[in-house]
Every structure is written in structure tokens, then in C-alpha cells.
Structure 1
Amino acid sequence: MRILDWYILKRYLVTFLFTLLILIPIAVAIDISEKVDKFLAHADLSAMQIIDEYYKNFIIYYSNTFMPLALFIAVILFTSKLSNNTEIVAMTNARISFTRLLYPYMIGATLITVFALAMNHYVVPNSSKERKQFEKEYLARKKFTDNLVRNFSLQLNDSTYIYLKSYNFKSSNGTYFTIENYKGIELVQKLTSDNIRWNENDSTFRLSRYKLRKLYKGNDSIFTGVNLDTAFAFTPKDLLFKSALAQEMPSDELSDFIEISKKRGVKNLNSYLVELHKRTSLPISTYILTIIAVALAFRKRRGGIGVNLALGIAVMFIYVFFMKVAEVLGAVAGANSLLYVWIPNIVFGGLAVYLYLNARK
């Protein structure tokens, strides 16, 4: 790499970090002002616990969220400054093409993309899990129904179905449990119990007042008992189906969950698929946003940095709007979630190509 490449790359990364470090304290300050009363309402909640369990994870989450915005603003700012200082004019006079000028930018974008991919797929989900647990414990208004599911049914595989009238996650206790096994369309076995309780220590369920019925040609056999300890191909976690859970799963765990849910006949998994696809599409947008930002800011404009910054923020606002709309539409049952998640990148990728070709002239 030339000295010029190192110079641009250094400015790229330093301005990006500086912009991110400006946005995060603002977000933290706003959040503290909104939640300080709730923090003070818990006498046993120390400042160190708030910082370690909540704001550490808050900063990780919002740093990842603000990363595209910080990157776009940073590239607009320092590229406009290069242009206003006539440094880009000097590069052009030295016969450095626009394509060659993008070289250090693309290296910087690659570094940020790799970092963002690791954050999105592994770090942020684990961090979100701890943060949401803190919010649930200290900040959220607790409802009795938050720990309860009613009239729940699930297909475990092609031949096994379960049903629960109710299950309480706090007490790990459920009522009126049924599991049915089929051979084709014929019922071959049915196990029911008045009560079911999860034992986390050995990952088994205890059935109370159970009845096992096996169906044969011509006759049936029925077994009853008071207690039965057994294992099933599900856990209490499988009884939850909330899109918010997707944000708490690392990508490998989320992929496994989606595959298992498909086999179990869960109808709409698009909210989970949107979260999975978004973890890749958002970091890849780093390349697109970098090209757009450089193409908008490398020319010296009347009005200086302010004009470029206003134009850049407008473009970024439209991109975020497109992204949020695409996520909502992609989560609708029957929609192609992969296509919807990538639509903003496809549209703005086309814009990036147009601006690039125009800038080369």
C-alpha cells in the first residue's frame, strides 16, 4: 500500500470511530433520563450492576445499530474535507482514478464488515439476552401472562404431536398434557397426564396422574400411574414462540431452531428468518454506503461540507426507511423474507453503481 492509501484508511477508521463515539453517549444520556426513576425504584440495584448488566450490553447493541449511520457520516465528513482542502484535486492531477481512490476505502469497509458480521452473528445476540433479562427483571411492567402459555400445540415430527392446556415458565409446571403418536393417519399411542413438571437437573419431565393408551388391531391396552419420569424431544424453551427470542440466539442456534421448527410444522417463521438474514445484509451494506458516500462527497461543492452532510443524511434516512419497511413486509406469512431483507441493498446497490460510473467520468 502507498502512503496515500494508509493516509485515507487511517482517516476512514479514525473518523468512523470518532462519529460512533459521539452517537453512543447521546443514546446513553437519553436512555438514562428515561429510566432513572425505574433504577431508583429498586433499592437493591447498584450503579455497578446497572453498568455491567445493562449499559455494557446497551452500548454493544446500539454501537452495532448505529454502525452504518456512523460509517456513512464519517465517510461524508472526511471525504468532503479532503475535497475542500483540494487534496482530491491533487490526486486527480497525479492521474489517480476514482476507482483507484476507492481502494483504501474498500479495505476499510472490509475491516468493518468482518467486524460487524462477527458482532451481528455472535456477540450482539448473547449481549441482547443479558440486557433483555435485566429489562424484564427491573424495567418492564410484569404481567402474570408473561410467564404463561395457554392451549399450546406443537408437531414434534411427522408422527408426534403434543398439546398443553397451560404451562407456567416460572414454576416449570403445566396442566393437561397430551402426546400422540401416529402411523400414517392412524393413532397408535396416546399419553395424557393431569400435570407435567420440568426437571432441569436431568432434563426430564415428571408426569402426574398419567394414562398411557396403546391401540392395536382389535383391542387396546391402557396403563395408568401416579408419577412417571420420562424424556421428550422438546424442552420448555420450545413452548415459546416470540420474534424477540430470535434477537437472543446466536446465528448457529437460530438456524437450528428454524430447521427444527420447520420439521415440527410451525407455519410462519418469517420473523426469525428476517432476523437471520438481516445479520448478514446489514454488514454488507457497508460497501454500498461507502461507495455512495465517496461519490457524493469527493467533488468540491458550493456550500462546503454542510451540503454534502445534508445530502448524505437524507440518503441514509431513505435507506433506513426502506430497511424497516422491508423487515416488516418480510415478516408477513408467505413472503420471501430473504428477498425483502436484501431489497434495500439491491436498490441502493444500483444507486451506488450509477454514482460510481458517473464519478469515473
Structure 2
Amino acid sequence: MRILDWYILKRYLVTFLFTLLILIPIAVAIDISEKIDKFLRDDTLTALAIINDYYKNFIIYYANTFMPLALFIAVILFTTKLSNNTEVVAMTNAKISFTRFLYPYFIGATLVTIFALAMNHYVVPNSSKVRNKFEKTYIRKAKFGENSIHDFSLQLSDTSYIYLKSYNFRFSSGTYFSLEYYDGTELKYKLTADNIKWREKDSIFDLTNYKIRKIFPKMDSISSGIVLDTTFTFTPKDLMFKSTLSQEMPTDELMEFIDISRKRGVKNLNTYLVELHKRTSLPVSSYILTIIAVALTFKKRRGGVGVNLALGIGIMFIYVFFLKVSEVLGAVAGVNSLLYVWFPNIVFGCLALYFYVKARK
């Protein structure tokens, strides 16, 4: 790398970190103003718990969320300054092409992308788990029906199915449970119980008023009892189907969950697939946003940084809009979630290519 490359790369990273450090305190200040009354109403909640359990993880989550925006604004700010100081003119006169000029930018974008990928796939999910638990305990009151499911069925394997009339996650108990085993289309075994309760300490289920029916070619065997302690190939976690659950899983755990759910016959996993694909697509956008930002500010423009910043924020707003719409549409059953999640990058990738070709000329 040349001295010029180190100069641009250093400015790239320093301005990016500076922009990120400006955005995060603003987000924290707004959040404190909204939640201060909820923090004060609980006498058992300490300042240490608020900082360590909530705001530490809040900063991790929103630093990762703001990363593309901070990167885009940073590139616009310091590249505009290079143009206004006629430094870009000097580089052009030295026969440095636009493609060569992008070289240190791409190194910077690569460093940011690698860091964002590690954050998205492993750090942020574990952080979100702690933050969401804090919010459920001290900030958000559980909505009616949020902690329970009704008329729930699940395929455990190719031959086994379960059904629950209702299940409450808060009390870890449910009503009217049944487990069925099939040989092809023929029922071979059925277990029913009026109540089922999960004993987390021992990792077993307690069944009350149970009945077991075994079906043979010429006769059936029926037995019953008051209490039965047993284990199954599922836990209460497998009964949950919420987007917040996907945000709390590291990528390896999320992929395993999706794979198991597919084998169990869960029809719509797009909510989880959107979260999985988004963890890669958002960091990769660093390259696309960098090209657009450099191409917009490569040449000196009348109005300087103000015009460039306004134009950049407008483009960023459109990108974020596309991103949110694609996430919502990608979670709909029956659609290709991978295509929807990557659609904003495809569209803005084409836009970046257009700006790149135009800037080269």
C-alpha cells in the first residue's frame, strides 16, 4: 500500500468511528428520556443493572444497526472534504484512476464487513437475549396471550406428532396433550393427558390423568394413571414461534433450529430465514454504500458537504425503506426469503454500478 492508501484508509476508519460515536449517544439519550419513568417505578432495579444488562447490550445492538448509516455518512463527509481541498484533483492529475482511488476504500469496507459479520452472527444475538429479558422483566408488560399458545400441533419426526389444546410459557404448563406414533398412515401408539407441566430442573415433563393406547393387529392395549414423569424429544422452547426468538440465537443455533423445524413439518420458517439471511446481507452492503458515496462526492460539487450530505441521506432513507419492506415481505409464507432479503442490495448494487461507470468517465 502507498502512503496515499494509508492516508485514505485512516481517514475512512476514523471518520466512520467518529460518526458512529455521535449517533450512539443520541440514541441512548432518546431511549433514557422515554424509559426513565419505567426505571424509577421499580425499587429493586439498580443503576448497575440498567447499565450492565440493558444499556451495554443496547449500545451493541444499535451500533450494529447504525453501522451502514455511519459508514455512508462518513465516506460522504471525508470524500467531500478531499474534493473541496482539491486533493482529488491532484490525484487525478497524477494519473490515478477512479478504480485505483477506490482501492483503500475497499480495504476499509472489507474490515467493516468482517467486523459486522462477526457481530451479526454471534455477538448481537447473545446480547439481544440479555436485553430482551431485561425489557420483559422491567419495561414491557406482557400482552394478553403473548405467553401462551392455543391449538398447537407439531411434527416431531416422520412418524410422531404432538398436539396441545393450550400451553402457558410463564407457568410451563399446558392442557389436553396428545402424542401419536404412526406406521405409514396407521396409528400405532397414542398417549393423552389432561395436563402437562415442564420441570426445568430435571428436564422432564409431568403428565396428569394420562392414558396410553397401543394398537396391535388383533387387539388394543390401554393403560392409564394419575401421574407420569417422562421425557420427549422436544422442550417448551420448540413450541415458540416468534421473531424475537430468532434474534436471540447465534447463527449455528439458528440454522440447527431451522433444520429441526423443517424435519418436524413446520410450514412457515420465513421469519427465521429472514433473520438468518439479513445477518449476511446487511454487512455486505458496506461495499455497495461505499461505492455510491465515493461516486457521489468524487467530484467537487457546488454547495459542498451540505448538498452531498442531503443527497446521501436521501439515498440512505430509500435504502432503509427498501430494507424494511423486503424484510416484511420476505417473512410471508410461500415466498423466497433469500431473494427478498437480498433485493435491496441487488437494486442498490445496480445503482452503485451505474455511479461507478459514470464516475470513471
Q: TM-score range by the shorter chain?
A: over 0.9
Inter-partner Cα distance in structure 2 for 1:201 and 1:51: 30
Q: In 1, Cα distance between the equivalents of 2:55 and 2:86?
A: 42
Q: Which residue of 1 aligns with 2:112?
A: 112
Q: Which ranges in structure 2 are unaligned for 5 or more consecutive residues?
A: none
Deviation at 1:144, TM superposition (A): 5.4
Which residue number corresponds to residue 13 of structure 2? 13
Residue correspondence of structure 1 range 2-81 to structure 2 within 5 A: 2-81=2-81
Distance 1:152 1:351 in 2: 46
Matched, 1:259 2:259: yes
- Name the amino acid aligned to 1:302: R
Alpha-carbon separation, structure 1, partners of 2:26 and 2:167 = 42
Cα distance, 1:148 vs. partner? Answer: 2.1
Q: Which residue of 1 aligns with 2:311?
A: 311
In 2, Cα distance between the equivalents of 1:146 and 1:23? Answer: 33
Classify the secondary structure of the residue corresponding to 1:157. Answer: coil
What is aligned with 1:91? 91
Cα distance in structure 2, aligned partners of 1:291 and 1:171: 53
User: Secondary structure at the residue paired with 1:189?
Assistant: strand
Cα shift at 1:244: 1.8
Tell me which residue corresponds to 1:139.
139
CA–CA separation in structure 1 for the residues paired with 2:70 and 2:31: 19
1-structure distance, mates of 2:304, 2:209: 79
Secondary structure at the aligned position of 2:191 is classed as strand
Match of 1:326 in 2: 326
Which residue in 1 is equivalent to 2:189? Answer: 189
Residues 233-253 of structure 1: CA deviation (Å, up to 9, x unaligned): 100101111122111111111
Distance 1:259 1:357 in 2: 42
> Which residue identity is paired with 1:233?
T
Post-superposition CA distance 1:323-360 (Å, at most 9, x none) = 11111111111111000110110111011111111111
Q: Does 1:336 align with 2:336?
A: yes
Deviation for aligned residue 1:308: 0.9
- CA deviation after TM superposition for structure 1 residue 169, in Å: 1.8
Bigger CA drift: 346-355 or 223-232?
A: 223-232
Q: 1:143: how far off?
A: 4.0
| Aligned residue number for residue 302 of structure 1 | 302
Q: Which moved more, 1:31-40 or 1:137-146?
A: 137-146
State the distance in 2 between where 1:24 and 1:8 align. Answer: 24
Of 240-249 and 112-121, more deviation after overlay is shown by 240-249
Unaligned runs of 5+ in 1: none
Matched residue SS, 1:212: strand
The residue number in structure 2 matching 1:200 is 200
SS of structure 1 residue aligned to 2:145: helix
Partner SS, residue 145 of structure 1: coil
Q: Structure 1 residue 57: deviation in Å?
A: 0.7
Q: After superposition, what is the alpha-carbon deviation per residue over 1:284-339, rounded to whole angstroms, capped at 9, x for unaligned?
A: 00000001100001100111111111111111111111111111111111111000
| Secondary structure at 1:146 match in 2 | coil
Q: Give the length in aligned residue pairs.
A: 361
After superposition, give the CA deviation of every residue in 1:78-124 in whole Å (9 maximum; x if it has no partner): 00000000001111111111111111000000000000000001111
Measured in 1, the distance between the counterparts of 2:331 and 2:144 equals 28
For residues 143 and 288 of structure 1, what CA distance do their matches in structure 2 show?
Answer: 40
CA distance in 1, matches of 2:171, 2:318: 47
Partner of 1:360: 360
Matches within 5 A, 1:237-252: 237-252=237-252
Give RMSD over aligned pairs: 1.0
Distance (whole Å) between structure 1 residues aligned to residue 66 and residue 347 of structure 2:
21
Give SS of 1:165's match.
strand
Partners of 2:267 and 2:173 in 1: how far apart?
A: 26
Q: Give the whole-Å Cα distance in 1 for the aligned partners of 2:145 and 2:72.
A: 43
Give the aligned residue type for 1:257. F
**Amino acid corresponding to residue 46 of structure 1 in structure 2:** T
Aligned to 1:346: 346
Query: Does structure 1 residue 291 correspond to structure 2 residue 291?
Result: yes
Percent identical pairs in the alignment equals 75
> Over residues 126-156 of structure 1, what are the superposed CA-to-partner deviations in whole Å (9 max), with x where a residue is unaligned?
1111111111000112345332222211111
In the aligned structure 2, how far is the partner of 1:11 from the partner of 1:217?
A: 79
**Mapping 1:142-221, distance limit 5 Å:** 142-143=142-143, 145-221=145-221
One-letter code aligned to 2:78: F
Cα distance in 1 for residues equivalent to 2:351 and 2:123: 31
State the Cα deviation string for residues 29-81 of structure 1 (Å, max 9, x = none): 11111111111111111111111111111111110110000000000000000
Deviation of 1:174 after TM superposition, in Å, equals 1.8
- Name the SS for the 1:164 alignment partner: strand
TM-score using structure 2 length? 0.98
DSSP 3-state at the match of 1:158: coil
Partner of 2:124: 124
- Give the Å deviation of 1:204: 1.6
